[in-house]
Structure formats: C-alpha cells, structure tokens
C-alpha cells in the first residue's frame, strides 16, 4: 500500500535521535565493560514501524551489521544499498537458500533437520556454498526455534563443513532479560555458555544480547549486541526497569483536526452510538483509525491539542476518530497523538500502558498507510 500523503496524519522519525541512541549505548558499554562489541541494528518489521530503509541507511556508519526477521526484509535492505552483513533471525524456507547466497545474506540454522533439508536440495550443487554464512540458533529456554543440545550444534557444524559452508556464528535469545526476576535469565545464560564451551570450534561471532540484555545484563555481551527497541529510544521493559543510559524516543505521531462542531446534549458519537453527550459538547475529527494501527481500544485515552489533553470519545473507526475539545478551534489545528505539545507529553509507553501491551507492539502496528517523515537525516 502507498502511504496516504494527502492527509495530515504522519509519523515523524528523528534520525538524529536514533544515531544518538546508538552512540550512547556504545559509550555506556565501553565505560561499564571496557569493550566495544559490534552493534548490529535490528530493523525487522520495517524497523519497528520506523522505516527499515531510512533507519538502516542513517545508522549504517555506526553499526557493523543488521538483523531482520525474514528474507524479504533482507532483500529490501540489499536493494537499497545496504552492503554490511545482514542476519536473518528466523529459519527461512530451504528452497530459498540460493537467494540468500546470491545476496550474501547470513542465515540462521534453527535445527539439524533444517540443514539436512538444505543439503538435500537439487539446486545446492549450482551454488557456491562458501558464500553461505550461517549462525546456529540455540534454544536456551525461549522455547521457539533453535538447537537444544551441544551434539546437535556440533552435527550442524560438521554438516556445514561437509557442504563447504561458512560457520560464522552462534546465538541465543533471552525470554526475560527485561524483568526484575533473573531466575529464567540465569538458567538460559548457563545453558548457552555450557553449550558454546562444548563446541568443536568457536565461530567468529558468539552473541546473545538483545536490548534488554545489553542494558541490564552487560556481562552477556560477547561479539555482537543485537540492538532493537532501545535503538528507537524505547525502554524494552516499558517502565519496569530504569534505563542505564540516555535514550530519546525517535517517533512522534501527529495529525490535524479535519472537522469541528458542537453537538447538543443527547447527541451520540461513533459506531454503536456509545458516547452520548451529557451537555453541549465541542468535538473534533482526527483522520486516523484502526486501519492505521490506532486501535479501537484507544477510546478513553487522550491526544494533545493546543498543549491540552483532549479525550478520545466514541468508538475509534477504521479511518477517523472523535475527540472532545475545550473550545472551538480552527480546522487544521495540530493534534499530537505521540509526542510533546507545550508542557504535555504522550510517550509510546503511555499508549502501550493504556492498551495493556508493550511499546514494541504500538510502533510495529503503525500501518503503511501512515506517511513517515524523516528529520535530522
């Protein structure tokens, strides 16, 4: 879908904030651990809704590589000039391995079975497998993809060697690095460390840190930090744990009033006629709805107009929603859905808390229909 450019709703992404978030992380780790690990920017899901291409291009000189979730996201980066390493974090369909090899994209091997399927491909003989770089995924307790024993990992290394492939890395992913309780985290760390110690050969990259591990468990950072949420200026724990260095939220979401009117006492607003005016009420229309990822449960939350909090009333429709205004304001008046207006501020975390979800989901759900504008690029 093409973004809707002829309406005032837009997400503004501050690229300088993203760059500063990376720099601040590096400074923090250098001070705390005395190391300078490679930073690989996680730009899956269209850069957590921020726009993978622009984020990757802007961060390119500050990072050593990129992580995406699937092959199409890797293809998108390669076709927009990104030449640094790209790791696909999920297992891809074995038949598509040739695409990854041709684009020099690093693959995740999620199991020995997967690599055996690749080994059985007719098309493998036409490929220069020395360009097939792979990282073994270890399931240390997340319960998703990955090997669970050192024997399986060593069998993958042996089969990879036999096929002439490049064993470039091994990694795992923590389920609870953003939580106060560290039991699960420590058991995963022990499992991963022991498995790596039992390998027949250590690859170039051993890595296990996402943002949360990099922020609150810096001892886990080895060769690569996979920096996602914090790169966008979001605290991966929401508000549970305090940040250990300065981040700035890169995304703001803005629109404008497209319609204003006074509705009389007893008049209703929106589908289901849920909202009934208890007195004459000034209302305004904002052109954003659930098709933009501004979900129906935003009713009852607020936006900022003229530096004031204005409640979202009635049901959020597909393309529009209604807010209560303190006074008659002109059409075109700025509306801030995420960001600052005067002394007031709405963060991604505030929206997530209202919805009972995490900040990741709020930004990832912002649909392609919302125009992205980049500043400080």
Ligand X SMILES: *Cc1c(COP(=O)(O)O)cnc(C)c1O
Active site residues: 44, 271
Minimum gap (Å) between residue 42 Cβ and ligand X = 4
Question: Which of 236, 287, 314, 339: binder of ligand X (CB under 6 A)?
Answer: 236
Minimum gap (Å) between residue 21 Cβ and ligand X = 11
Contact of 71 with 88, CB cutoff 8 Å: yes
> Per rule CB under 6 A, is residue 226 in the interface with ligand X?
yes
Q: Which residue is nearest to ligand X (CB)?
A: 228
| Count of residues in contact with ligand X, rule CB under 6 A | 12
117: tokens are 């399927």
Question: Which of 210, 218, 220, 281: binder of ligand X (CB under 6 A)?
Answer: 210
- 243 marked as part of a ligand binding site: no
> Per rule CB under 6 A, is residue 228 in the interface with ligand X?
yes
Contacts of 20 (CB under 8 A, 6+ apart): 246, 248
Q: Of the candidates 376, 291, 286, which has an alpha carbon nearest to the alpha carbon of residue 338?
A: 286
Residues 166-185 that bind ligand X (CB under 6 A): 173
> Per rule CB under 6 A, is residue 211 in the interface with ligand X?
yes
> Per rule CB under 6 A, is residue 77 in the interface with ligand X?
no
> Per rule CB under 6 A, is residue 42 in the interface with ligand X?
yes
- Which residue carries 């399986």 as its tokens? 152
Provide Rg for the chain, Cα atoms.
Answer: 24
262: tokens are 């006074």
> Per rule CB under 6 A, is residue 21 in the interface with ligand X?
no
- 144 marked as part of a ligand binding site: yes
Among 56-64, 76-84, 99-107, 225-233, which window interacts with ligand X (CB under 6 A)?
A: 225-233
Left (φ > 0), alpha (ψ -120 to 50) or beta: where does 250 sit? alpha
> Per rule CB under 6 A, is residue 133 in the interface with ligand X?
no
What is the DSSP track for 332-347? T-EEEEEEEETTEEE-
> Per rule CB under 6 A, is residue 89 in the interface with ligand X?
yes
Contacts of 139 (CB under 8 A, 6+ apart): 145, 146, 147, 148, 172
Nearer to ligand X, 220 or 322 (CB): 220
Contact of 221 with 33, CB cutoff 8 Å: yes
Residue ranges of the binding site for substrate: 144, 318
Catalog residues that contact ligand X under the rule CB under 6 A.
42, 44, 89, 173, 210-212, 226-229, 236
């Amino acid at each position: 879908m093409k973004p809707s450019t002829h309406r005032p709703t837009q997400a503004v992404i501050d690229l300088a904030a993203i760059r500063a978030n990376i720099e601040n992380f590096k400074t923090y780790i250098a001070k705390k651990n005395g190391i300078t690990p490679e930073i690989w920017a996680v730009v899956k899901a269209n850069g957590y809704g921020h726009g993978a291409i622009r984020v990757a291009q802007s961060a390119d000189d500050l990072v050593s590589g990129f992580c995406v979730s699937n092959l199409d996201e890797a293809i998108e980066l390669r076709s927009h000039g990104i030449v640094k390493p790209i790791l696909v974090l999920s297992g891809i369909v074995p038949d598509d391995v040739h695409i990854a090899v041709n684009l020099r994209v690093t693959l995740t091997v999620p199991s020995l079975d997967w690599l055996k399927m690749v080994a059985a491909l007719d098309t493998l003989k036409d490929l220069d497998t020395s360009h097939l770089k792979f990282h073994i995924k270890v399931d240390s307790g997340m319960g998703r993809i990955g090997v669970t024993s050192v024997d399986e990992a060593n069998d993958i290394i042996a089969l990879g060697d036999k096929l002439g492939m490049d064993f470039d890395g091994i990694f795992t992913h923590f389920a609870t690095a953003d939580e106060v309780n560290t039991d699960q985290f420590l058991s995963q760390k022990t499992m991963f460390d022991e498995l790596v110690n039992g390998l027949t050969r250590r690859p170039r990259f051993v890595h296990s840190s996402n943002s949360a591990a990099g922020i609150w468990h810096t001892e886990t950072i080895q060769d690569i930090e996979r920096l996602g949420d914090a790169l966008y200026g979001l605290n991966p724990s929401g508000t549970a744990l305090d940040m250990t260095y300065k981040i700035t939220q890169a995304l703001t979401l803005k629109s404008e009033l497209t319609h204003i009117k006074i509705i009389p006492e007893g008049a209703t607003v929106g589908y289901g006629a849920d909202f009934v005016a208890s007195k004459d009420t000034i209302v305004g229309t904002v052109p954003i709805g659930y098709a933009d990822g501004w979900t129906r449960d935003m009713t009852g939350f607020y936006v900022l107009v003229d530096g004031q909090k204005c409640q979202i009333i009635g049901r959020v429709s597909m393309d529009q929603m209604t807010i209560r205004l303190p006074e008659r304001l002109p059409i075109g008046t700025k509306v801030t859905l995420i960001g600052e207006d005067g002394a007031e501020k709405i963060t991604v975390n505030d929206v997530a808390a209202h919805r009972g979800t995490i900040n990741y989901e709020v930004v990832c759900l912002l649909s392609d229909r919302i125009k992205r504008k980049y500043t400080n690029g």
